[in-house]
Structure 1
Amino acid sequence: MELTEEFERYLEHVSEGLGRSERKAGLKSYCGGLMLPLKRKSMEPLAAAIDPHRVQARHESLQHFVSDSPWSDERVLSRVQSWVMPKMRTERQRRVFLIADDTGLPKAGTHSVGVARQYCGQLGKTDNCQVAVSLSIATAEASLPIKYRLYLPDTWTDDPSRCEAAGVPEDIVFMTKPQISLAQIREAKAAGLPGDIVAADAGYGDDTEYRDGITGLGLLYVLGIKPGTTVWAPGTGPLPPKPWVGRGKKPTRLRRDEAHSPASVKDVAMSLPASAYRKLTWREGTNTKLSSRFATVRVRAAHRDYQLDIPRDEEWLLIEWPTGEPEPTKYFLSTLPADISRKALVDAVKSRWRIERDYQELKQEFGLDNFEGRNWRGFHHHATLCIAAYAFLIGKRLAQGQDTKKNAVFRTSPALPEGYTRRRAGSTSAPCL
C-alpha cells in the first residue's frame, strides 16, 4: 500500500506524538487502512487490505500497536490539532464553539471495557453498548473532535477486578458524563485551545453544576435543558433573606413561599402569547431550508437557589415550538449577551448539528464503532487514529473549499491472495467481541 505524498507528510507530522520512532510504521499502516474503502475497519480487514500476503503477521503487529503499545492519545491528538487548526482559521472566527456530546457504540457480550445496558443514541434505545464522551472545536466552516473518553458506568468502577482485566488505569473513578465533559473543557482551555462558547444537549445542560462550571471557566454556553427545569420568569424572583431580628446568626439565604416560587420552562413557554413565537431559518438542509418557530425570554435559573445568598444572573431561555406541534419540543439556556438577536441565538444553538455529522462520518467512513478489542488502551487508541484520519479529510475539504464525502485517499484495496479466507471468531487468540 503506497501513501500519497501529502498524506505521508501529514502522518509523519502526527507520528511525532508517538514518542518512539518504531511506532511510526504502525500509525501509518493503521491510518492508511482507515482511508481505504472497506466495509468494515476492524483489525483483521485492515490487516488483509494493508498487507494481503502476510495477513496474520500484520494483524498481530496492528494488535500490538493499538491495544498494547503505551503511546499517548493526548500527544497524538495535539499533533493532529496543530495541523488542522490553522486550516480552520479559528483566530479569524467571530465565534468558536466547544461542542460537548456523547455517542453510543453497540456492543455484544460483557467483557469489552465499559460495555453495559445503557441508552445508545445510535440505536435510539437502551441496549448493550459502550458510550464515549467527546469535545469538538467547531467554526462556521468545520469541526474536529479534540477529546474522546469512554464513560464507565458504576457497574464497572465498583468492580476493581473487572477494571483490572480490561486495563482500566487505577486512577479512573466513576464520573458522570457532564463531569467528564467539564474535565475535557478544562483541559482544552488549559492547553490554550480556541473556543469561547460551549454547546451541548439537555443531557449536559440540565446539570446545574455543569452550567456553573462552564461559567466559572469564563466561557459562555448554549445548552439544551429538559421541560421540567425550573426558572424565575420575568417579573418574578426569590425572596430576600429573612429580616434579622438582632439575635443569632444573620440570615443570608434566599427564600421561596407559595406566592414566590419558580416555574418549569414548559409552563413559561405555554404562558407566552402566540405573538411571542417567530419563524426563523438557520441553515440549508439536504432538500430544504431548516426552520421553526422560536421565542426568547430573559430568566434566572432556580435550581436550589434557596441555598444561595444572591439570585443567579439573568440568561436567555430559548424555546422551540415547531408549527403543528401541540407543545414546544426543545428548550435552551444561554449566557450569550443580553443584546444578541434572536436569529443569532438560534444560529448558536443549532451549531450542535456539526457533531452529529462528525459521528456519522467517523462511524460510517472511518470505522469508529468497528473496534473489536476489549481493553481501555485499545479503545482509545483506535478512536484517536480514526480522528487522525478524519482530520486529514477535514483539512483537504478546507483547502479545496468544498464539502465532499470522497474521503478515501486510496480508492481501491490491494487484492487479497488467492485462497484467503477471513478467520472465524475464536480461531485465534486475538480479542473479539
Structure 2
Amino acid sequence: MAPALRHKDRQEPLRNYCKGLLLDGERKSVEPMAARLAPDQVQRMHESLHHLVAQSPWSDADVLRRVRERVLAAMQRHSPVEAWIVDETGWAKQGTHSVGVAQQYCGRLKRKANCQVSVSLSVATASASLPIAWRLYLPEEWARDRARRKAAGIPSTVEFESKPRIALEAIRRAVEQEVPRGVVLADEVYGSNREFREAVAGLNLRYSVAVRRVTTAWTREREPLPPKEWTGKGQRPNRPRRDATHQPLKVEQLALALPARAWRGVSWREGSRGALRSRFAAIRVRPAYGDDRGAGQQPEQWLLMEWPKTEQTPASYWLSNLPGNTSLRRLVEITKQRWRIERDYEELKQEVGLSHYEGRNWRGFHHHATLCIAAYGFLVEERSLFSPSAQAGHVRIRTPGIPAGFQRRGAPDPRATA
C-alpha cells in the first residue's frame, strides 16, 4: 500500500498503524495503539500515528484500490465474485462535534440515536467478502452548517447526498475500474428507491434488493390499462374507465393471495446450528410507481417473498432483475448472500477497531476506516490460503522434520506425538 501514500516518510507510520490495528487490545484508537507499539516513546509514536491518520493528505481511494486488487485476487482463487453488497453501518457517539454525528437511525441499536453512519460497497465470493468503498453519510443539517463544516474539515466538494446516491457513486466507480461484476444486493433503504434500481440496471448490472411490503406491482394477470389517447386536437384525453379491480397491488397482498402450493421450503447455507431454511415463493411482476404511466413499458422482473412457518404473515420481499429462467433456489441463494456484510462489520469493529476512532474531522474518519479495511483485507487474504471446505485440525500442512541429534537420549520420540 505504501506507494499509494505518495511520500516515503509515511511508510513507517503506515506500517505501525496497521500493526496497531492487528495487535491485541480493547481499544484501537491512536493513544492506546501508541502505548502498545512504543511503551518507551508513547508521545513520539502518538504524534506519528495522529499525523498519518488525521492530517496527511493521501488518497483513501488509491489505498482501497490497491487493497482490493491484492485481496480480490486471493479471494478469487477459490470462487468468482458473485455479489456486490451495499449496506450501511453506524455507531453511537457522544456530543455533537464528531463529523456527521446526528440523531438518526442506527442499525446496530435498531433505533434512532446520536451516531455516525457510513455507506459501504463490498464484493463477495462464495466464501469471502471485502469492503471496497466507504463513505460517511453527511446529514443535511451538517451539509448546510458552514461553521461545523469548517471545524470538521469537510471538503467544499462534499454536499448532501442521500444514502442511495452515495451507494450509486461507489457502484459507478467499481464499474469504471472494471471490478469483476456481481449481483447488487441491498436492503430496503436502497431497494425501495426506484431511481437506485433503474440506475443499477442502466449500468447493465443484475440486482436482488429488498423492498417494503407496501411496494406496489402489476402481475401478468393484472396488466396496466392502455395509455390515454387524445380524441382530437384541443380535445380532452379519452381515458378508459377504470374500476377498483384494475389496480396494482401491494407486494404483501400478492403474497397473501398466493395458494399454499406456491410456497416451497428452500435451504440456502449451513449455519452454526445446521442448515438455514425457510419458505419462499417467486412470481414475475412489473413495478408500479404510484400510477400506470409507462407501466406497460417497465421490464418484468422477479418478486421474491419469504414466509417462515413461525410467522403469521410474510416477512421479507425482494425485487430482482435476474433472468426469467432463474430457479427459485438460485434466487434465494444469491439474495441471502447479504449476510456476509454483517460478518464484515462485526469483525471490522471488534477485531480491527473500526468504531474506535476518537478524532472529529472528515479526513481522519475516512483514513482510519481505510486502514481498518486494509488490516481486515490482510486477514481475508490469509484465510484465502486455505480451502473454504478445510476444517480445523484437517488442514494438510507439512511439518518440518526433527533435526538430527535434537532428541534427548531416553526421551519419547516427538514424532509419535499426535
TM > 0.5 fold call: yes
| Residue 28 (structure 2) pairs with residue 41 (structure 1) | yes
Q: Which amino acid aligns with 2:348?
A: L
Q: Which runs of 5+ in 2 are unaligned?
A: 393-418
Q: 1:353 Cα shift?
A: 0.7
Contact 1:230 1:265 in 2 (8 A): yes
Q: Which residue of 2 aligns with 1:428?
A: none
- Residue number in structure 1 paired with 2:363: 377
Taking a change above 3 Å as real, the CA distance of residues 25 and 66 of structure 1, as seen in their structure-2 partners, is same
Residue type at the aligned position of 1:279: G
CA distance in 2, matches of 1:285, 1:250: 61
Quote the Cα distance in structure 2 between the aligned partners of 1:249 and 1:52: 86
3-state secondary structure, aligned to 1:316 = strand
Structure 2 counterpart of 1:213, from 188, 194, 199: 199
Q: 1:229 to 1:373 in 2, by over 3 A?
A: same
Task: Return the offset for 1:92.
Answer: 6.0
Report whether the alignment pairs 1:354 with 2:340.
yes
Measure the CA separation in 1 of the matches of 2:293 and 2:154: 38
- Show the counterpart of 1:52: 39
CA shift for structure 1 position 192 = 1.1
CA gap of 1:57–1:219, structure 2 versus 1, over 3 A, is: same
Q: Is the 8 A contact 1:103 1:120 kept in 2?
A: yes
Question: Which amino acid in 1 is paired with 2:301?
Answer: E
- Tell me which amino acid in the other structure corresponds to 1:106: A
**Partners of 1:332 and 1:379 in 2: CA distance:** 33
Matched residue, 2:227: 241
Over the aligned positions, Cα root-mean-square deviation in angstroms equals: 2.2
Q: Aligned AA for 2:321?
A: T
CA deviation after TM superposition for structure 1 residue 131, in Å: 0.1
Residues 254 and 24 (structure 1 numbering): CA distance in 2 closer, same or farther, change over 3 Å? farther
**Is structure 2 residue 312 aligned with structure 1 residue 321?**
no
Greater relative contact order, per chain length (Cα 8 Å cut-off, separation 6+): 1
Answer whether contact 1:110 1:116 (CA < 8 A) is retained: yes
1:78 pairs, out of 65, 81, 87, with 65
CA deviations 1:187-229 (Å, max 9, x no partner) are 1111111123100011110001100010011101000001000
Distance 1:41 1:403 in 2: 32
Percentage of matched positions with identical amino acids: 50
The match for 1:298 among 260, 284, 288 is 284
State the distance in 2 between where 1:311 and 1:180 align.
Answer: 28
Matches of 2:139 and 2:216, distance apart in 1: 28
Residue 25 of structure 1 pairs with residue 25 of structure 2: no
Contact 1:234/1:297 (CA < 8 Å) preserved in 2? Answer: no
Structure 1 residues 10-409: aligned runs within 5 Å: 14-89=1-76, 93=80, 96-248=82-234, 258-304=244-290, 306-308=292-294, 310-401=296-387
| Residue-by-residue CA offset, 1:140-173 (whole Å, 9 max, x unaligned) | 1211100000001111011122111101110111
Amino acid of the structure 2 residue aligned with 1:73: D
Query: After TM superposition, which residue ranges in structure 1, 4 or more long, deviate above 4 angstroms?
Result: 248-257
> Whole-Å Cα distance in 2 between the matches of residues 358 and 285 of structure 1?
16
In the alignment, the residues of structure 2 paired with residue 148 and residue 308 of structure 1 have an alpha-carbon distance, to the nearest angstrom, of 35
Q: Name structure 1 gaps, 5 residues minimum.
A: 1-13, 407-433
Quick one: which amino acid aligns to residue 202 of structure 1?
A: E
**What's the TM-score, normalizing by structure 2?**
0.90
User: Structure 1: how far apart are the matches of 2:15 and 2:235?
Assistant: 67
Over 3 Å counting, the alpha-carbon distance change for 1:364 and 1:326 in structure 2 is same
How many pairs does the alignment contain?
392
Per the TM alignment, residue 234 of structure 1 is displaced from its structure 2 partner at its CA by 2.9
Larger radius of gyration: 2
User: Once the 2 structures are TM-superposed, how far is the Cα of residue 251 of structure 1 from its aligned partner?
Assistant: 7.0
Query: 1:235 aligns to what SS in structure 2?
Result: helix
- Contact 1:305/1:312, CA 8 A, preserved across alignment: no
Report the AA paired with residue 278 of structure 1.
R
Hey, what's the Cα distance between the residues in 2 that align with 1:23 and 1:249? Answer: 73
Distance 1:396 1:125 in 2: 36
Tell me how far 1:402 sits from its aligned partner: 5.0
Letter in structure 1 aligned against 2:23: L
- State the SS of the aligned residue for 2:336: helix
CA contact under 8 A between 1:254 and 1:305: conserved in structure 2?
A: no
Cα drift, residue 347 of structure 1: 0.2
Distance 1:62 1:328 in 2: 50
Deviation of 1:399 after TM superposition, in Å, equals: 1.0
Cα 1:255/1:220, change in 2 over 3 Å: farther
Determine helix, strand or coil for the equivalent of 1:17: helix
Shift of 1:305: 5.2
Gap change, CA 1:196 and 1:252, over 3 Å in 2: farther
Q: Distance in 2 between matches of 1:303 and 1:90?
A: 43
Instruction: For 2:365 and 2:293, locate their aligned partners in 1 and report how far apart those are by CA, in whole Å.
Output: 42
8 Å Cα contact 1:397/1:403 also seen in 2: no
When structure 1 is superposed on structure 2, of 148-157 and 296-305 the one drifting more is: 296-305
Looking at structure 2, the residues matched to 253 and 356 of structure 1 have their Cα atoms a distance apart, in angstroms, of: 49
Paired with 2:292 and 2:31, the residues of 1 have a C-alpha distance of 58
